[in-house]
Amino acid sequence: MSTQINRLKEQIAPLRDALVHHPINSFIQSTAELEVFMKHHVFAVWDFMSLVKKLQQEFTSVDVPWNPKGPAEVRYLINEIVLGEESDVDQNGVYISHFELYLRAMEELSFMPSPFLHELRSFANLDELLLAIPKSNIPESVKAFLTFTFSSIQNRSIEEIAAIFTFGREDIIPEMFQVIVDQLKRDSPDKVETLVYYLERHIEVDGGHHSELAYKMMEHLCGNDDSKWQNATQAAVESLQVRLKLWDGIVEHR
């Protein structure tokens, strides 16, 4: 791992620690609290794919005639993540996207997601989407999370978007989710089979292999440019801060 990656990780360490030890880890004590968690968190499950797709647009070729684009290692990372997110397998080996799997987990628990989640998917472009988010009736913490994701995709440099993806999602998810999975297995093992499967799949696929490839992507994008590393670090910090606000919003929604 490069010196720059290590330096970035040191700078975001307090925020990562705050997430790993967040009160949300002991929040889910009842079905009602699990419902609150899932109705908030499902938006983060959905918007993650737009981060991935932005990186796919940047680093892989979807044009005809085709020509290779970007470093092969980065193409491999993005294509592997798209494959897993869009067409993974469920507990029975049936192909399904992680977002659809999460919706299935909600359905099994009779949790209805916000109607705005379905409305979000109808917007034709980011401008329409970003105008609609503040007007919705979803929690403020969710609005802030979505606005950060999509305004970053629209306005930030590719190294900043990659840092949000790498350090705000891939790098933190295994450690963050493991604590939640342990609690769910202990307190409600028979009720949350699909949810636990979803979380454990992310712990598995977002662990060492994907993280290492994501670090290589960051090294390719930033190289020895200190200003790019500074921008990437700031984006990573902001992504973790907005995740903390999302978690705070869930815990405060008692």
Confirm if 237 and 15 have CB atoms less than 8 A apart.
Answer: yes
For residue 187, pLDDT beyond 70 = no
What are 133-148's pLDDT values in tens digits?
999 999 999 999 999 9
Residues with Cβ within 8 Å of 52's Cβ and at least 6 positions away in sequence, in order, are: 78, 81, 82, 85, 165
Q: In angstroms, how far is CA 154 from the centroid of its own chain? A: 17
Amino acid identity of 114?
A: S
pLDDT attached to residue 190: 66
189 band by pLDDT with thresholds 50, 70 and 90: low
What average pLDDT score do residues 149-167 get? 96
Residue 201: CA count within 13 A, CB half-sphere: 21
pLDDT attached to residue 141: 97
pLDDT attached to residue 230: 97
What are 26-84's pLDDT values in tens digits?
888 888 999 999 999 999 999 999 999 999 999 998 889 999 988 888 888 889 888 88
227 band by pLDDT with thresholds 50, 70 and 90: very high
For residue 188, pLDDT beyond 70 = no
Phi and psi torsions of 66, nearest 5° = -80, 145
Locate tokens 């921008």: which residue? 231
Question: Domain spanning 3-253: which superfamily?
Answer: Heme oxygenase-like (1.20.910.10)
pTM: 0.93
pLDDT attached to residue 254: 65
Distance of alpha carbon 186 from alpha carbon 216, whole angstroms: 37
